[in-house]
Amino acid sequence: MRRLPFFLSSCFFLATQAQAELIMNGASISTTTTTPAVSSFSPQNDFKGCIANLRSQAISSGVSAATYDRYTQNLSPDYSVIDKLNYQPEFSTPIWDYLSGLVDDERVQAGQQKMAQYRDVLNRASQAYGV
């Protein structure tokens, strides 16, 4: 069940921001030409198609069909996320200010302790997922 969010989140990262804006306006991008191709695209249908396509991948990764169906049956896309992309602090704050607010000696030390504590789990994840 912990793998399910990974599969669902991949639906939201399939398109670039430009594609997402076109999708919200009812167009899609042709993958064979350099010009956008307008279609009778429906964002809701495309989202449901994405969820349906991910089902077999989730099942082959150990998520039961019943679990997948239970957690995806009432999902709907939240298009407000697209508008918020440009307001993420890593894009609106100078890099050094952003990093100084996130990284300090205490956090580095805590991270190193957690890495040592979970070394076996992290090594298995690295082996399994290539990260």
- Cα 112 from Cα 39, distance rounded (Å): 51
- Residue ranges per structural domain of the chain: 1-87, 89-131
Concatenated DSSP letters for 44-77?
HHHHHHHHHHHHHHHHHTT--HHHHHHHHTT---
In this predicted structure, what is the pLDDT of residue 79?
86
Sign of CA dihedral 44, 45, 51, 57: negative
- Cα 5 from Cα 1, distance rounded (Å): 8
Overall pTM surpassing 0.75 (yes/no): no
Report the pLDDT averaged over residues 42-67. Answer: 87
26 pLDDT above the threshold of 80: no
Q: How confident is the model at residue 14 (pLDDT cuts 50, 70, 90)?
A: very low
> Which residue is associated with the tokens 């076996």?
120
In this predicted structure, what is the pLDDT of residue 48?
87
10 pLDDT above the threshold of 70: no
Report the pLDDT averaged over residues 88-115. Answer: 86
